[in-house]
Amino acid sequence: MADYKAPLRDMRFVLNEVFGAPKLWQTLPALAEVVDAETAEAILEEAGKITANSIAPLNRSGDEEGCSWVDGAVTTPAGYPEAYRLYAEGGWVGVGGDPAYGGMGMPKAISAQVEEMMNSASLAFGLYPMLTSGACLSIYAHASEELKQKYLPNMYAGVWSGSMCLTEPHAGTDLGIIRTKAEPQADGSYKVSGTKIFITGGEHDLTENIIHLVLAKLPDAPAGSRGISLFLVPKVMVNEDGSLGEHNSLGCGSIEHKMGIQASATCVMNFDGATGWMVGEPNKGLAAMFTMMNYERLGVGIQGLATGERSYQSAIEYARERIQSRAPTGPVAQDKAADPIIVHPDVRRMLLTMKALNEGGRAFSSYVALQLDIAKFSDDAEARQRAEALVALLTPVAKAFLTDMGLETTVHGQQVFGGHGFIREWGQEQLVRDCRITQIYEGTNGIQALDLLGRKVVGSGGELYNAFAEEVRSYCAAAGSELGEFTAPLQAALENLDALTSFVIDSAKRNPNEIGAASVEYLHVFGYTAYAYMWARMAEAAVGKETQDDFYASKLGTARFYFARLLPRIHSLSASVRAGSDSLYLLEASQF
């Protein structure tokens, strides 16, 4: 496998030339004093170094060794504790954290790039700081000042880590039926009891303490999701002076044996009257959890992008070096027995598909991250409200489409290697295995599609959709004639999505099955259209510069490939949506 190199040039292009992020940061008072173009550049450069030099070399060995569990203790692969300590000492766990509690205070648009680099280097490694950051988000937004002061500094510093304990053996997506209980105590604490499964980083040897955020129900809680509260439950109790005390009444019952992410500890966690404190208000646990979810779901989408980027880097190196057969137009490498496989049309199709989806995904994830920054930091109520609407609409697209395209990309990378892609030593098969989980956790992609179409589009009567559509429509109207080759197909794609949206909204009024039947294909039509918007904006930033720099020539060529060969996928997907739900119900359950 090729050595990982952070795609810093493309990240700078997206942030600085496509979206003008440094100018935006200067309009947001909370960010203007902490970040500018030079600061962002320095952070990305350093993140590129540590991920490439210290984390990426552990990816394959970590997969081969995996985590081990003995008598409740989990050991991570060789090199992981040292690499995590180095990562934490650099301040990377708290890159987006509030400086008041020891974080760097960077916007999500920067931390998103750091996340991509970290997950390209090793997705399994990246899950530990990701879950810590997610837990910090919920604590910061909803916990009491006392809890924030007590826990956030050590979590941002990476001295302590975090986990999110949601899923139970009988309750996955349907959290309303969880059974974990929290009994109130006289001193204001709670005794938490229950079992949680699939808990990433629930137990490990990377940090001296793990701060679990646990969903549970109070004794008098209302039924269903309205009766869920959130509790902070430390692995090791923290004394008043901040030192560590006794081990809490909780433990890891086992770890899962998985298809991928072998170096990430996926734990069964048992809470047996463990001491915890409520985060937020009683029976408002889902609201506290969803503060984290918008960021985490984008983060999972970035994981799909990251594995695709790693796969592409290896595939392009292999395609330039591996010689097989001659080009259809005749020999290219006259001094060799055969030509490098990059001359062959089908190999180029796979490589360009990978490149177009990766770069489109990087632009899209950065765009969503910028909306999160505006929603969080803007003083303009109207701008903040609009950004919140876009985040609500686009988060399920970012999670599901980025990871669906990530799997397609890693499979293409494996295919470029041919038989060698199926062999473990080349690393491509690991990326396929690792990427696969991204379509499942943090809400399966089918659930994301239902969220997009059912709750966000149909549920808002198309209002949330219109916020995005109007932006794209205005962009196309304002674009110059030199961009016509990109804006004309973008406009046509948007008109198709407009019509498809109206069709589903109308169909759902007559038959509630129509939403579920259309949701996955609809999300993909939305995703390809959103990427077309990203590619038009990237082409705009590159046009006129292609003769000065191969980077811009490559960008324009890839944009043309996307519009010619990938965007047309929307037509077959749209036809599937319009076919309706009837064919899904032609068979009785016994006939399957």
| The two three-digit tokens of residue 253, written as one number | 């019952």
Q: Which amino acid belongs to residue 65?
A: E
550-561 vs 345-377: helix crossing angle, rounded to 10:
100
Q: 43: closest CA among 18, 11, 20?
A: 11
Burial class (CB in 10 A: 0-12, 13-18, 19+), 116: buried
How many Å from the N-terminal Cα to the C-terminal Cα in the chain? Answer: 42
CA distances to 39, 112, 128, 454 from 92, in Å: 14, 12, 12, 37
CA distances to 175, 218, 232 from 224, in Å: 8, 12, 21
β-strand partners of 269: 196, 252
Distance between CA atoms of residues 396 and 361, nearest Å:
14
Q: Is 38 a catalytic residue?
A: no
Q: 310: closest CA among 430, 480, 472, 455?
A: 430
Q: Are 552 and 538 in contact (CB under 8 A)?
A: no
Q: 212: closest CA among 131, 293, 285?
A: 131
At 269, is the secondary structure helix, strand, or coil?
Answer: strand
At 66, is the secondary structure helix, strand, or coil?
Answer: coil
Q: Are 304 and 407 in contact (CB under 8 A)?
A: yes
Sole residue written with tokens 């530990």: 128
Q: Are 252 and 72 in contact (CB under 8 A)?
A: yes
Catalytic residue among 116, 203, 359, 442: 442
User: Could you count the other beta carbons within 10 Å of the beta carbon of residue 8?
Assistant: 15
Half-sphere exposure (Cβ direction) of 591: Cα atoms closer than 13 Å: 5
The catalytic residue positions are 442
